[in-house]
Amino acid sequence: MSTFFPGYLFDWFRNFLRFSATIRGLTQPANKKSSMKTAGIKRPPERLSRRSLLIRFLSVLHISVLMVAWSVSCLAEDQAAVENPAQEPGWNIDRWTVYTSVYTKHFDPDPDHVNNQKALGLEMHMTNKWIIGFVAFDNSFGQNSQYLYAGYQWQLFQSRYWYFKLTGGLLHGYKEPYEDKIPLNGLGVAPAILPSLGFRYKYFISEIHLAGLAAATITVGITF
């Protein structure tokens, strides 16, 4: 859980611009490069590593796939509501969920990264599928952090087991010298968003949380 919205979309937009600039640089005419050399202008490296280029391309692809999946899920919910008109459930507590992290993978590892987030979270699920939750964890640099959030859950493809969850809230805990690792953290608290793919079977749940293209964290828990 290292980077969230608006950092999530910010990272994607920044990488999209870098990817576009890289493509333009790869196709830049040779005479222009020669004129830069003649004028004594230091030009950037001609091409990035394949890995860096792939990461930037996947940032564009990732957000596109995510938004399509979310849109399909929303359309399915709307269609179900039309076919089975009924009164929408109210704000009653349906169940609680307690969860912890078991695995984290950073896509672009850094020597300062910590892959054991030690997360401990609690969620309150409402009968209308809204969620309110809080989780304490160690961020990607080992600092104690907290995420207070609300969100919504969609069942995927009319399945009883698979679902997509989107939460947003406030993220605290990124301190010096890593306070600039997330945007809008000037006051020590930053807005955040976290998309998740989950699986539930009876009392057991497992989710994978995507922190942009920075990392993915797997959690497990119980619901009651």
Domain boundaries, the chain: 1-224
The CATH number that domain 1-224 falls under is: 2.40.160.20
- Check the CA dihedral 203-102-56-170 and report its sign: positive
Whether the Cβ atoms of residue 194 and residue 180 lie closer than 8 Å to each other = no
**Mean pLDDT value across residues 1-14:** 48
Name the band, by pLDDT with cuts 50, 70 and 90, for residue 60.
Answer: low
> What residues form DSSP beta bridges with 220?
100, 206
For 189-219, the pLDDT digits (tens) are 999 999 999 999 999 999 999 987 889 999 9
More confident residue, 38 or 191: 191
Closest CA to 56 of 83, 21, 106: 21
**Mean pLDDT value across residues 119-125:** 98
Q: Tell whether the model's pLDDT for residue 99 goes beyond 80.
A: yes
Q: For residue 205, give both structure tokens.
A: 């749940």
Whether the Cβ atoms of residue 217 and residue 207 lie closer than 8 Å to each other = no
The set of residues, in sequence order, having a beta carbon less than 8 Å from that of 139 and lying 6+ positions away, is: 1, 2, 114, 117, 145, 173, 174, 178
Name the band, by pLDDT with cuts 50, 70 and 90, for residue 6.
Answer: very low
Q: Tell whether the model's pLDDT for residue 120 goes beyond 80.
A: yes
**Mean pLDDT value across residues 18-23:** 53
Four-CA torsion 72, 75, 77, 83, nearest 10 degrees = -140
Q: Tell whether the model's pLDDT for residue 133 goes beyond 60.
A: yes
